[in-house]
């Protein structure tokens, strides 16, 4: 009986030991599972680095843990909010001075420093050493080291993906900024800076396209050229700054009066031009008259502003410049006939 009781006690002790070991391993597996889930759930570098450090401490009971990257400046460029003193970062002087860290980064092999109670495991992606995972404060046991190896393998893959994602996001932001600057430059090249209307270049490009469409589908196309009456007198009387205000006021009134499909442009000086797709001569004359009346009724920076207009409808086999020339001659007739009127 005594022998049986002794054997039972040995078995019970072994069971207790196994239970404790199992509980310890279960905590470690839970920690590894948590970091794996965190790594798969997010590609954000900031949170990933913190998670790796926290789990490394949970697995080892260490005092501090660090992710040492092959190029700290690269991480600083890619992090959402770079912090030189981040809790995951090993001080630069330690990276330079501690042989174990240098060895792991140089060779991709684990290293330890018993004097500093430091263990370093490589973060390795296929073909290259990305960095090192370092824990200090106490030398971990075999099981903890094995868990750290698993953690480092997961961390290397996740960090490589997160760095790539951050680099792509940064590149995307840079490309968006470049594209925005390009569009701004393109807009500036096609826009009159004072009135924010289309400029002559934009009008000519669009006019050629509309003329081709009109010819292909047999649609009418008309042009209106308008010129502010006695604009030199405005500049001489009120000054050029007030003259600019008149140009902007007239431009705003014209923009409100033309139709959505029309292209309004500043032709130069105090002259404006309107491209009117799918518009025949009668409808173009009516639009020109609405423009004339709107300017005459305008309450602008200078009283009594009026405008003269010439209208021409594009012929199918005619060059656009020829249509513009006919509209310009009609404008001249409106000026000679007393201004503030429409001629075709």
Which of 109, 270, 271, 296 is catalytic? The answer is 270
Query: Which of 163, 190, 183 has its CA nearest to residue 72?
Result: 163
Radius of gyration of the chain measured on its C-alpha atoms: 39
DSSP letter at 279 equals -
CA distance 68 to 34: 21
Which residues are CB-neighbours of 267 under 8 A, at least 6 positions away? 200, 203, 225, 273
CA distance 3 to 94: 58
SS3 content of the chain, % helix, strand, coil (to 5): 60, 15, 25
- Tokens 């790539």, residue located: 164
Query: Which of 1, 183, 146, 159 has its CA nearest to residue 78?
Result: 159
Question: Tokens in use for 211?
Answer: 């003329």
Clarify whether 270 is annotated catalytic.
Answer: yes
Q: Are 302 and 329 in contact (CB under 8 A)?
A: no
DSSP string over 33-94: HHHHHHHHH---HHHHHHHHHHHHHHHH--SEEEEEES-HHHHHHHSSS--TT-TTPPPHHH
CA distance 310 to 184: 33
Q: Report helix, strand or coil for 199.
A: coil
Please report, for residues 281, 326, 333, the alpha-carbon distance to residue 323 in angstroms, rounded to integers and kept in the order given: 12, 5, 16
- Catalytic residues, by residue number, are 270
């Amino acid at each position: 009986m005594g022998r049986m009781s002794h054997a039972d006690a040995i078995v019970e002790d072994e069971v207790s030991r196994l239970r404790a070991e199992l509980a310890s391993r279960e905590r470690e597996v839970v920690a590894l599972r948590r970091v794996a889930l965190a790594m798969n759930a997010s590609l954000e570098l900031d949170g990933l680095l913190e998670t790796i450090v926290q789990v490394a401490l949970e697995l080892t009971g260490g005092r501090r843990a660090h992710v040492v990257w092959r190029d700290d400046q690269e991480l600083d460029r890619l992090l959402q909010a770079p912090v030189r003193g981040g809790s995951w970062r090993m001080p630069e002087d330690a990276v330079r001075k501690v042989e174990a860290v240098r060895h792991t980064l140089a060779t991709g092999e684990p290293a330890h420093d018993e004097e500093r109670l430091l263990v370093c495991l490589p973060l390795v992606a296929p073909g290259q050493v990305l960095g090192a995972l370092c824990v200090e404060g106490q030398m971990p046991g075999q099981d903890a080291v094995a868990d750290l190896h698993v953690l480092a393998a997961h961390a290397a893959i996740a960090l490589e993906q997160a760095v790539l994602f951050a680099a792509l996001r940064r590149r995307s932001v840079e490309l968006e900024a470049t594209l925005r600057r390009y569009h701004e430059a393109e807009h500036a090249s096609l826009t009159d800076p004072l009135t924010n209307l289309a400029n002559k270049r934009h009008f000519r490009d669009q006019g050629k396209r509309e003329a081709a469409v009109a010819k292909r589908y047999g649609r009418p196309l008309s042009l209106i050229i308008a010129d502010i009456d006695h604009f030199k007198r405005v500049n001489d009387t009120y000054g050029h700054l007030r003259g600019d205000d008149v140009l902007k006021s007239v431009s705003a009134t014209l923009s409100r009066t033309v139709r959505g499909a029309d292209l309004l442009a500043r032709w130069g000086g105090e002259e404006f031009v309107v491209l009117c797709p799918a518009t025949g001569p009668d409808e173009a004359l009516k639009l020109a008259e609405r423009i004339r009346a709107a300017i005459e009724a305008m309450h602008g920076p200078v009283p009594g502003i009026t405008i003269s207009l010439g209208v021409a409808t594009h012929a199918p086999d005619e060059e656009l410049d020829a249509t513009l020339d006919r509209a310009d001659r009609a404008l001249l007739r409106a000026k000679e006939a007393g201004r503030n009127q429409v001629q075709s």
